Amino acid sequence: MSFIWRNYITFEIKFEAMKYCYFLMVLCLWLLVSCEQPEDPPSNNFPYLTVDYRFSDPEVSVYSRHLAVTSDNGAVIYTGETKGETTNHIYNRATSYVKPLVQMTTADSTALAGYAVDLDGEDRVYYHQLYQVKEDSVVHRIYRADLTMNLGSPPPEVVCSFDHLLVGFSEEGSSAADHLTVSSDGLTFIIGWNEVGFYYLDLRGDEPISSILKDVVEAVFFPDGIRYVYADGLDNIYLASIGEHEPEYIGNGRHISVSEDGKVAWVKNQLLHLYDVDTKKITQYNPPKNVASAQDLMNATLSPDGRHLAFRSYDHLDSDIVFCSLP
């Protein structure tokens, strides 16, 4: 009898010990789950861009491959497509939550397509359009418009008009330009077609002069209209000058832009790269936090002062304009 009693006592002690251990295990698990976990450390130590403004205009989808920022950082100019329409327009998005989005251009029944857009040093707007002048003939026009243009008023002026021969087209192959960049004085241009090539246009003489730029798939002028930055088909980025044949390799990426003080920006591996032409130093920045698709930094464009960046953000519904500060 005493043997059975001893076994019973031993069993009770072990059972109580097991309950105690189980209680401690549950308590530890609860503490582990309920305690605030530290955030995962960032994969790099690069600073983050800071969002100043984020504009969602659900009726307009951003279409531009290149944005343009005014010299006072007061507006972003871009081409967009109105929902439910097939016509593109140029829009002026002020960097203000109070001012409305302005549609600068109006539909033109004779225009076949447009627009590639840029700004000169006085914030005048330049854009390209293609027109059908006869049943089997088209003409290219580069326009200059005042920044205050609203629905075509005040009307723009034609800066240059040329046919397909100036830029190496066949008559049947003419199409609207995909890219346009203008010098600070508004007299020289780089205009590009993805399927045809990029051309340098010089309007300083009596007649426009053009020359082809080889291996270029993206390009942007420095203010002097002589130096420019371009990317080739392998996303290699070069500094070059009109008339010179030895470009300088500076990096690899897409969405290139420049500032007036000699900075070059591009995007690679979801990082903004900022290259200083004088020091040859590259600084990298993370995209801003909590912005949908910001990691792509699509159409990233540096402001003229080199202290801000505009880019296109998008989701399944529309695309937005995000305006950031560089820390």
User: Is residue 1 in some structural domain?
Assistant: no
Least confident of 5-14, 15-24, 136-145, 237-246: 5-14
User: Is residue 40 in some structural domain?
Assistant: no
User: Is residue 35 in some structural domain?
Assistant: no
Residue 315 · residue 292 · CB < 8 Å:
yes
- Segment 175-184 mean pLDDT: 89
User: Is residue 9 in some structural domain?
Assistant: no
Q: pLDDT tens digits, residue range 46-100?
A: 999 999 999 988 888 888 888 999 999 999 999 988 777 777 889 999 999 999 9
Q: How confident is the model at residue 244 (pLDDT cuts 50, 70, 90)?
A: confident
Task: Give percent above pLDDT 70 in the chain.
Answer: 80
User: Is residue 33 in some structural domain?
Assistant: no
Prior bond to 154 cis, omega within 30?
A: yes
Mean per-residue pLDDT over the chain, rounded = 83
Least confident of 144-148, 204-208, 271-275, 281-285: 204-208
Count of domains for the chain: 1
CA angle 260, 293, 190 (to 5 degrees): 35
Q: pLDDT tens digits, residue range 212-231?
A: 898 999 999 999 999 999 99
Q: How confident is the model at residue 28 (pLDDT cuts 50, 70, 90)?
A: low
**Residue in the structure block whose two tokens are 């307009």:** 60
Residue 24 has a pLDDT of 55
136: domain CATH number?
2.130.10.10
Domain that holds residue 225: 50-325
Residue 8 has a pLDDT of 44
Residue 162 has a pLDDT of 83
Pick 93 or 42 by higher pLDDT. Answer: 93
User: Is residue 55 in some structural domain?
Assistant: yes
User: Is residue 12 in some structural domain?
Assistant: no
Residue 306 · residue 259 · CB < 8 Å:
yes
d(CA 288, CA 285): 9
Joined tokens for residue 88: 């593109």
User: Is residue 18 in some structural domain?
Assistant: no
Residue 207 has a pLDDT of 82
- Say yes or no to pLDDT of 39 above 50: no
Q: What is the DSSP string of 197-229?
A: EEEEEE-SSSS-EEEEETT-SEEEE-TTSSEEE
